[in-house]
Amino acid sequence: MGRLHVYKYQGAGNDFVIVDNRLGEAGCLTPRLVNRLCDRRFGVGADGLMTLCAGTEADFDMHYYNADGLEGTMCGNGGRCLVAFAALMGLSHFEFTACDGLHRAELCSQEGNRSVVRLRMRDVDPPVRLPDGWLLETGSTHFVQWVKDLASYDVPGEGRRLRWDARFPKGANVNFVEASCDHLFVRTYERGVEAETWACGTGSTAAALASYAKGEKCFVRFAENDAERIKFAIRTLGGELAVDFIAEPDGFFRDVWLTGPATRVFETDIDLDRLFD
């Protein structure tokens, strides 16, 4: 199988294996190999794997795989980490395609291995209100539920129970939210990882939009380009994120941006022939 050069990045504790595939060197990737690379005991260890591919309609393409080895839906923190990686590879423009369409990003700052990246997410339809929470699509399907004392809440147990709820035929990511006076505390059980992750970008986005629709007031308003924007500060187990957007009167959300850190952890060569010893 040969050798594969990989990089590891993390965004607020949401971690990823990244492979530069612009010349097609990563054709060896299979679901079994992706799963082993993401394994925290026998591989590199990550919540998912991404490849940076030559752009067909933009500067580059993003291909994302969950830790289970299967192709996943949009990953917000992964997208931010891939932008930081693209900058490391010498790219200076950050418009890219993912499974949910075209995205644009801004490299806000860079110091050593740590970058701050602002990523434009997809526009989002009005959330669907359910008896025990809200359902919405932010590039991935997310169910958002508010709980008290989230720090001690059984996120793995309740997340696993709700992840395959009959109301979600294709499964859903499950986000538990606790609102305070100036931020949202968000914990997420992710499908494809089948565990709680330390942060989730599309989940944090879903939590912010659903919280606004629900009437939570822990946001700030600011004006930009003659438009009023809403901004939520997000606290996760792995760090802080921010989500800002324009809320339309009809319940739609547009020009949605996710901002947070993206840090290069290390890079290494993997001997693929020995990975399954």
Terminal-residue alpha carbon distance, the chain: 13
Whether the predicted pLDDT of 120 surpasses 90: yes
* DSSP E strand stretches across 39-100: 48-54, 60-66, 95-98
For the segment 72-95, what is each residue's pLDDT rounded down to a tens digit?
Answer: 999 999 999 999 999 999 999 999
User: Could you say which architecture CATH assigns to the domain 128-259?
Assistant: Roll (3.10)
- Closest among 260, 15, 230, 219 to 124, alpha carbons compared: 230
User: Could you say which architecture CATH assigns to the domain 3-118+263-270?
Assistant: Roll (3.10)
pLDDT band at 56 (very low <50, low <70, confident <90, very high): confident
Query: Whole-prediction pTM value?
Result: 0.96
243 Rama class: left (phi>0) / alpha (psi -120 to 50) / beta: beta
Active site residues: 75, 200
Q: Name residue 176's beta-bridge partners.
A: 145, 187
Q: Which residues contact 184 (CB under 8 A, 6 or more apart)?
A: 177, 178, 204, 207, 208, 211, 216, 218, 232, 233, 234, 235
In the chain, CATH 3.10.310.10 sits at: 3-118+263-270, 128-259
CB 119 within 8 A of CB 244: no
Q: What is the pLDDT of residue 26?
A: 82
